[in-house]
Structure 1
Amino acid sequence: MLGNDVKVELFGPPKGELPDAIQSYNDAKLNYYSIVVKLTYKNQSFLFPGDIYKDMEEKLNAQYGDRLKADYLHAPHHGEVTSSSPKFIEKVAPKAAVLSSNIWVNMPLLERLERGVTKAYNTGINKNILITSDGKQLQVFPEKDRPAQK
């Protein structure tokens, strides 16, 4: 707890597995053991799952279930196809999500997120994205709007 209004939960890496689990420093191994943090401020929650892949998402779903629900999701692994499985997104059920990739845009993921109640943003399209919360409401201010799809 950080005061009465802020709570931090660590969902990953799995307790007791580090440092012994890291035998090499390849990207897949390091991404698997990314830190997964949920920050709750009053009635608003924010999930930051680092660069985890779908297999870790499945483990988190099984272990934490509804505790993964969050108002904001920073898409795992920059929104790449290795992550953000439908079951994980369904469990988190975010109102807003950001894919932080200036190099490429996973449009199918953006569209899948927005089919639910999620407003999705990508730094490659929206540029800088400011997210604010008073603990009751979440507000997102993108530097640029996404062009309308034709």
Structure 2
Amino acid sequence: MSFTAEELELAPKKYEYLDHTADVQLHSWGDTLKEAFEQCGISMFGYMTELESIEIKQCEEIEATGDDLEGLLFHFLDELLFLFSCDPFLICSKLVITQFETGEEFRIKCKCYGEEFQIGKHPQGTEVKAITYSAMHIVNEPDKRKELFVIIDI
């Protein structure tokens, strides 16, 4: 599979990890809610390995739905975790949300770029066991930076 130069270009980092008792909190942001969601997904993969070690060799597409923004974020991250947890264990360094609906229905379609996780090539970070709703917070105010806070179970 070959990719265009645009598909191989990674987004700038707009996330950080915040300490939380026995877990970790992902904090991502962006100019748009869509960008903040993409950054949140990448931050989860970045917690599992060093993103610089990932080559873009394949692309998978996921879909997620929710009843509200929090549910959409939960299911989006859960689908990404499922993608990593199932054969071929895809670890991603780039996410591009191609459909982002937050009106009457909450739906995401996302292209996930990366490669199969390989011990030895990809330094092992921390295993993510589950996504949680605990202390989930979405800042989505007009004319302000969009921010997401999500605690993941490690």
**TM-score normalized with structure 2 length:** 0.24
Higher strand share: 2
**TM-score normalized with structure 1 length:** 0.24
Larger of the two Rg values belongs to structure:
1
Higher helix share: 1
Larger RCO (CA under 8 A, 6+ residues apart): 2
